[in-house]
Structure 1
Amino acid sequence: MSNCVSVVLGQYGWSVTYTTQSICTLKGSTVEMSCTYTYPSGTVTTTLWFLKKGNPVSLSGEPDYKGRVMYHRDKKNGHTLTITDLRESDSATYMFSFITDQTRWRYTGSPGVTLSVTDLQVKVTPTWWATSKTLTCSTTCTLTDHPTYIWYKNGQHLDESTSPQYKDPVSKNYDDTYSCAVKGHEDLHSPAVCFQGQSCNRVTYTKRRICVLKGSTVDISCTYVSYYSTTSSFWFRSDKSTPEDLTTDPGYAGRVEYPGTYRGPSSLRITDLREEDSAEYRFTFKTDNFEWGHSFPGTTLSVTGLQVKVTPAAEGQKTLTCITTCTLTDNPTYIWYKNGQRLDEPTSQQYSSNTLVVLGHSVDSYSCTVEHHEDLHSPAVCKYELNYYSN
């Protein structure tokens, strides 16, 4: 990271100090941007981060950042912006601004923090036939904090290095496949590439992360190519000391199946999901030559229940929020129930979002669920909680 930079926003002690001016990090990861600020007197009433290229509108209100932005303010005039599940489109310059109760205008720190979001790609040189080649874990910007690179060969952990380059003089096979990741972000590995040619072993997971409801059913899938004929294949949990076929695991008895097993179980179905099913799931296959996938990242499953959170709104009102411990996959439609009866106005968005405003003195009870899982209700929030509970 670069050194701190202090920006004076006028005279008499107005300033913003960004911890770093530039960050390069991986697509799918989480980033924190922080600063400290000073002012001569008064009390800060408003703080916000916004995109330099746009209007000074808080990121928390931008549709593209919905559910991915968090603000944290400490007691020493420090402020941190956290963005999760980064996308390449998040690459931009972010600026911090604040207002005090003694001013009518906002003070903004320049030049801000420039964020670059990149993915990983493996490049092989030379591209023509050779028994020894150099592999490069390539990014579009230089990753911050000098990461350690992890190399995988045929889905197995191969080596670690602080250099983005790796030379494997042993590999001479058409079917050898390579991928890279950085330590601490092993789930964000690059696509696999062939050492020679294009017909090689590979496994590609349909989704890297899935968040679904407790009690529901999930399908986790992948596509795979085996250069040689496979002798066996199965799914397993990565947190097991030894890979174990889920169909033989007592904890999944009667809840696991491999639908569509033509050419191997490329799909895993788990029914009646439990919170303890939250784990990373990987697919492996064996040939007469090698075994794929024990250390290669797979699909991470998070299982959550629904809860109704109550917060004060306007006078005499409460805001109900249907919350989960992870962001549900596929952006579901929420459904609200009042005294066990569904609230439904097809022409309005009022009852299809995860929030609902009700009278604080209501004697009614409320619960929520999501479309297509109407049998998986949250616990009901009742009269006592609406009158007295807030968070």
Structure 2
Amino acid sequence: MEAAEVSVDGLIYKLMCNGSQRIHEQMIRGEHQKLHHRDLPAVHPGVTKLSMTPKKKKCEGAIQPWGVNYDPSQVCVLEGSTVKLGCIFKYPCEKPTIIVEKKFWFTEINNIVDLRDNPDYRDRVEWNPPDYDGYRNCTLTIRRLRRTDSATYKFRFETNKDGGKYTGEPGVDLKVTGLTVVMSPVVTEGQKVILTCDTSCNLPEHTTFTWHQNGKALPQSENQHPNRLVLNTVGRQDAGIYTCYVKNQNFSAPERTLTVQYAPDAPSVSVSPDEIKENSSVTLTCRGDAYPAIQTYTWFKENGNQSLGSETENLVFDHIQSFDSGKYFCTVANKLGSNKSDSILIDVKYAPTNTSLLVSPSDEIKEGDSVTLNCRSDANPPANFTWYKDNQTLPWELRKSYTFTSIRSEDSGTYRCRSENEYGHSYSANLSIAVQYAPRVPSVSGKLEDSWRLTLTCSSDAHPSVDNYTWFKENEDSPRASGRTFTITDFRINQIGNYYCQAQNRRGAKNSTYQLIVVAGEMCLFTYAHTLPVQTRNYP
């Protein structure tokens, strides 16, 4: 266990320490003077006991005078930053012991009022530094500096001795200033432009700056001067609001606006209305980007050498005619130069006429064929097309043709089309489409009469209609009957089996099945839910 005496807050304390030799040497060398007695156990874990009984402080050497020393005595800092005003105060070492009862900072502006009690400084000032033996640290820290913080700051302490009140004169002169962007506010495209981030303070030699344009940080060049932004060839994209920051600080210069002058770009010509109908009023407008603004406009029609007389941005046709169709352009100029637009085509429009509907192929249409409908119309601008079947609108695209890749019987009907643009519409004549197809799988129904007579009926859908119905028994080559109906009156065991009918037109034939069963002298009638098998023949 080792011991050392430490002076903390003006008192001498005895420390008991079981720490390393290094800790003991720190206490002997006086490094403890940087500690508060509450911090010692945290900084030196080896400290096990702190005697709180103060020992008398020795007064050695010459008597110290009263005084406050500031270092430096003049400070210039940037708005928003943090500053430390260095300060040491002292007083005589004599008996009876002088005790400091009150110590604080104040400014000439607010008279002798502790800054910590001033609402303008509250939560922004801090000073509670450790004391040195005989010389006491009174350094003041001010955060988030404002322009209004510029003042002369003084430290004052008051003791228990009569007349023992002392104010350090002349104090510390603090100047809080900001950054300023120095530049030419108006420049011409192509020039070299230099923006300087300036301040009245002498900042450290290696202070670096960042630049922002329209709120976005600009990349830094390796060769960039610390406080300058150089635009070697300024362009209109460089126009905007600029500000500068001291790197890693959150305060900036007031924003400045850079305006870039340039000759007109190639202008554009627009037309109103978008679509032009004969005898309507039409306005052509010439628009160009330039700074200063465009001063003169001139209009031309291609293949003509004379200007059209208008010297404004608009060229107006009160009642446009077909012979006014053609290509037009304009030229624009300001004091820095001139430019010419591309040409715009003026084309007179009209409503659709002569609408007709064509079908391909135009002869007989069979189920499965590829069939195309074409709607033709003369219109300007080109028409959109609406399709109808049996007077019902079809959900087809607004295009002039539609193709059935494999047409079906349900596609049969009466078709027509409508052509339309913004100036009017026109309908085609009706066109009938009849899709031909072979008979569908026949259905068979049976009716038992008087317990001994069974009549079977065969039905099938087809276009053209079914020409022939024929009745067969399975595994027999010869037909049993022809016609839509087939009657059985003699029930014998050899009549049990599969019966089917065949429906036929000139597009093909299909078969159906039926089963008749005689059990124990009684007749039972069953039909299959499916065909066994369905035979199909299609004809070209």
TM-score range, shorter chain: 0.3 to 0.5
Using the size of structure 1 for normalisation, the TM-score is: 0.43
Q: Relative contact order (alpha carbons < 8 A, sep ≥ 6): 1 or 2 greater?
A: 1
Higher percent of residues as strand? 2
Query: Rg bigger for which structure?
Result: 2
Q: TM-score, normalised by structure 2?
A: 0.32
